[in-house]
Amino acid sequence: MSENVGIVIVSHSADVARGTALMVEQMVGREVPLGWCGGDPDGGLGTSVEAIMAAIERAWSESGVAILVDLGGAETNSEMAIEMLPESRRDRVVVCNAPVVEGAVMAATEAASGATLEAVRRTAEELTPV
């Protein structure tokens, strides 16, 4: 069996990111590779490309990584971080258009079942009103 898809949580707040990661671990267990980060490069509210890249590295799975983000800058910085990955990894990381907490739990639940990256993303995005 191939590896489970990894989940990365990116919030403006380290507390939100950590709290969300704890919820995922408790509700889904540890069989999903998990990375999280929050806060700008100085530790204030914001996001950091460097920290996002490190979180992707921690959650890395050959099956890919799904990123859940909260607000604007988290998304833009996550897209930037993906572009800065080695070319062989770039197309295996996606940003999900979903609420960060619910999305992370739903995505991780789907990932834990061995679903593909696309299926994980779809499950998270079903939470987003059309």
Partner 1 sequence: MMIDCQARKLLFETVAQRVIASADELTDLDRAIGDGDHGTNMRRGFEAVLAAVDELSAKNLGESLKGVGMTLVMRVGGASGPLYGTLFMSLGKSLQDDVTCEQVADAFAAAIEAVKARGKSDIGQKTMLDVLFPVLAVLREGGVGLPVRLKATARAAAEKTIPMRAIRGRASFLGERSIGHMDPGARSSALIVDAVADVMEGLA
- Verify binding: residue 41, partner 1, rule CB under 8 A: yes
Residue 97 phi/psi, 5-degree rounding, is -90, 80
- Verify binding: residue 125, partner 1, rule CB under 8 A: no
Question: Smallest gap, in angstroms, from Cβ of residue 47 to partner 1?
Answer: 6
**Contact predicate 37/51, CB 8 Å:** yes
User: Nearest-CA neighbor of 117 among 59, 41, 44, 55?
Assistant: 59
Site string for partner 1, 67-106 (x = CB under 8 A): ----xxx-xxx-xx---x----------------------
Question: Smallest gap, in angstroms, from Cβ of residue 104 to partner 1?
Answer: 21
Distance CA 98, CA 126 (A): 8
Distance CA 37, CA 64 (A): 18
List residues near partner 1 by CB under 8 A: 40-42, 44-50, 71-73, 75-77, 79-80, 84
